[in-house]
Structure 1
Amino acid sequence: MAYFNISLLAKQGWRLLNFPNSLVARVFKAKYFPESNFLQLSLGSLCYYIWRSIWATKDTLEKGLMWKVGTSMNISITQDIWIPDYVNGRLLSRVDNLQCDKVADLISSNEREWNKELIVNTFPEDVADSILRIPLSMEPHEDFWLRVENRRSLDPTAYALQNIYRDFYRKLWRAEIPTKIKIFIWKISWNYIANKVNMNIRRLVNNSLCPRCGDGEETLNHLFCECPVSIEVWRVLSDLDLTGFTNVEFSDWLTMVVVSLSLEKCRTFCIALWSIWGDRNSRIHENQIDQAKRSSDLFIAISKNWTDKWRHPPGSRIKINFDGAFDERSKVSAFGVVVRGSRGNILISSVDIHRGVHAAFAAEAIACRGATQIALAMEEEGIIIEGDSLTVIKKCQNTDQDKSQISPYIYDIHSMKSRDRSLKYEFIPRSANNLAHVLAAESLRRKEGFYLFNKVPDFAEAQARSDNEREPD
């Protein structure tokens, strides 16, 4: 409770920094820090108890604050925290030959790029590398505070996961299945579902027998592995070859199966688990009796719905697909963009190579920005921009200021979108974005960019033809 109370009080300090025009911030500022800001003031005397309580969390709040570089006119190179993941927070005495004070002096304002020569000649190698990895937006915006996780204050063993669990979650989030199914798999991995055993423990039901077969308690093992209805589903899906995973606890079984399967088979496996749970609920709430057939039919229906192909844009509109590819070792990314008309005809295909990219997440955002630039240059109404990064698409759809690690790219996208409000951003699964993916991945391997009209490179022609084959309505 003490830590919880500190968190609530620190949140009030955060609001004083970020909402200086609110009534409470103006009152506190007028009384306690008229000539400075919340982080710079000392406590003083004759303070009310509530103000002393908020002030007491100032050090805690400051440890979790970092400047996000925009214009960088307000950020001190040595006194402020502005370099992500820098071990000591501030530079302080690590710079001997520094000739400037503000971060803005390290940026070539005309190109909106870091002055690499100045930075490399001024800072130690590790610091210079960290600075050069900070992304900059094409158009400057105001600097703002970010709250970051104070990793040094955490118990390093508190959230430790064995490698197999890390691989399990990576595979799960990469699978091309609906988000609700991913969340469901996550919930059963932690036994967070309302099966009869869990409900009986909480005294919500009188017995814990399986509602489908009535033969044994409805544990997770019974529900998904041992019940005759579930056994029939796995018999239908014999190509998954689950015979080697027996006599283990359910959580271990789930983890090992997901890790061992290919992405495509993992997708099938997760949909089957979802289908089993859906059948079980129908048995209880809808009095369905042909359970095995229903589970198989439900699985087939869901599987078909989520094996998506690229779809032609409606009417006479234009559709732009983008994807990013990233090389962790060299910190190089490539974005693939393909523009197609209502008949699926290729209008433009483009790839650009970017160096000094810090994460795959940023590669997707750079790709989306590239697609938006092409859309504006075409000067067409109602262009649809599609990508398979749900997070990037949601950030493009959201009008609020983004404060994540990719905020410079999202800021540029929002700025461009303000010039053409008919632009529409839509999420699609990877299976419907294969052409853009092929362009990005192969071009990253070749380290070659291009900009082509009315065609794609030879290596992508087969995928372009496959995408343009219409499925029956």
Structure 2
Amino acid sequence: MASDEVCGKLSTEFFEGADGVRCQSVEPNSRCAFQRRREGSAHDGDCYSLKVHWGLEDGKIGLIEEFKASQDQLAIHASREAVQSWCPPPGTLFKLNFDAAVFMDTESSGFGVVIRNNMGEVMAALSTKGPPVANSKEAEILACRKALEFAVEAGFQDVVVEGDNGTVMNGLTTVKPVNSWLGNIYEDARCLAMRFWSVSASCIRRSANGVAHSLARFARQLSEDYVWLEEQPTPAIEALYADSFATA
């Protein structure tokens, strides 16, 4: 009886052995390392060694199950890395999160805004219906402008702005003109941002923007602005609880 060590993705086929026993033939690929993705970059993962036994007593070894288990472990690891939690702002700053939702059936959009302090307490929140939009990018930059306008009018001076659309956040922070049909909206947002004493902006994952997302979805049923001041917005209670649990 012989045994071999193989590493990499496997292809198998069944054949009848000389004694009528169903056996497995295994062929390793040329590569000897799994690849896994972390934060948008590829990294070499662990090299899994799978032992193949030949012989009557080992004909039913769970080779495929072992390979699938190794793939599942990699998938679980990658999914955990993709989850990002909301974090409170440092010191005396306030964190401004916004999001947009597009309602194709009613030809409208919705904007959600929440401002929290370094304790995670809601200082102000907004849910409002928006106009018809051509796509999600238009909805997101309109939501960004609305969020900045809301924060200025509410009297906040030092804010950290967070959204989950990379294109919008890059357009907000760059000093170059945005050469698109949305350029005027970006300019409006930049002008509003200049009215704060201090402001910074960053792009986050959707998983860290749950409260604003809930408020944007809630706007579907509204006909006018809905504002909460120093109280938890009911439509986003579950998302607020998730954020507080993650940062506890």
The aligned counterpart of 1:452 is: 228
Q: Which amino acid aligns with 2:183?
A: S
Q: Equivalents in 2 of 1:447, 1:429: separation in Å? A: 29
Give 1:354 deviation, angstroms.
Answer: 2.1
The aligned counterpart of 1:375 is: 151
The aligned counterpart of 1:360 is: 136
Q: Equivalents in 1 of 2:108, 2:28: separation in Å? A: 55
Give 1:455 deviation, angstroms.
Answer: 2.0
- Of the three residues 43, 46, 59, the one matched with 1:278 is 43
Q: Equivalents in 1 of 2:74, 2:7: separation in Å? A: 19
The aligned counterpart of 2:165 is: 389
Q: Is the 8 A contact 2:8 2:29 kept in 1?
A: no
The aligned counterpart of 2:245 is: 469
Greater share of strand residues, 1 or 2? 2
Q: Which amino acid aligns with 1:344?
A: G
Q: Is the 8 A contact 2:156 2:196 kept in 1?
A: no
- Of the three residues 327, 334, 349, the one matched with 2:125 is 349
Q: Which amino acid aligns with 2:43?
A: G
Change (3 A) 1:301 1:471: farther
Q: Equivalents in 2 of 1:406, 1:413: separation in Å? A: 11
The aligned counterpart of 1:400 is: 176
- Of the three residues 289, 303, 324, the one matched with 2:79 is 303
Matches within 5 A, 1:93-242: 212=8, 215-218=27-30
Q: How many residues align?
A: 209
Q: Is the 8 A contact 1:271 1:303 kept in 2?
A: no
Q: Equivalents in 1 of 2:221, 2:157: separation in Å? A: 35
Change (3 A) 1:279 1:415: same
Q: Is the counterpart of residue 440 in structure 1 residue 216 in structure 2? A: yes
Q: Equivalents in 2 of 1:398, 1:290: separation in Å? A: 48
Q: Is the 8 A contact 1:334 1:351 kept in 2?
A: yes
Q: Is the 8 A contact 1:388 1:428 kept in 2?
A: yes
Structure with greater contact order relative to length (CA < 8 Å, sep ≥ 6): 2
Q: Which amino acid aligns with 2:153?
A: A
Q: Equivalents in 1 of 2:206, 2:9: separation in Å? A: 38
TM-score for both structures, normalised by structure 2: 0.70
Change (3 A) 1:300 1:357: closer
Q: Equivalents in 2 of 1:468, 1:298: separation in Å? A: 28
CA deviations over 1:90-112 (Å, ceiling 9, x no partner): xxxxxxxxxxxxxxxxxxxxxxx
Greater share of helix residues, 1 or 2? 1
Give 1:404 deviation, angstroms.
Answer: 2.0
Q: Is the 8 A contact 1:279 1:295 kept in 2?
A: no
Give 1:302 deviation, angstroms.
Answer: 4.0
Gaps of 5+ in 2: 1-5, 11-26, 51-66
Give 1:400 deviation, angstroms.
Answer: 0.7
Q: Which amino acid aligns with 1:374?
A: F
The aligned counterpart of 2:62 is: none
Give 1:379 deviation, angstroms.
Answer: 4.3
Give 1:334 deviation, angstroms.
Answer: 1.2
Change (3 A) 1:290 1:373: farther
CA deviations over 1:406-461 (Å, ceiling 9, x no partner): 22210101122233362111111001101110111122244553112012442322
Q: Which amino acid aligns with 2:219?
A: S
SS of 1:400 mapped into structure 2: coil
- Of the three residues 110, 113, 116, the one matched with 1:340 is 116
Change (3 A) 1:301 1:213: closer
SS of 2:198 mapped into structure 1: coil
Worse overlay, 364-373 or 374-383? 374-383
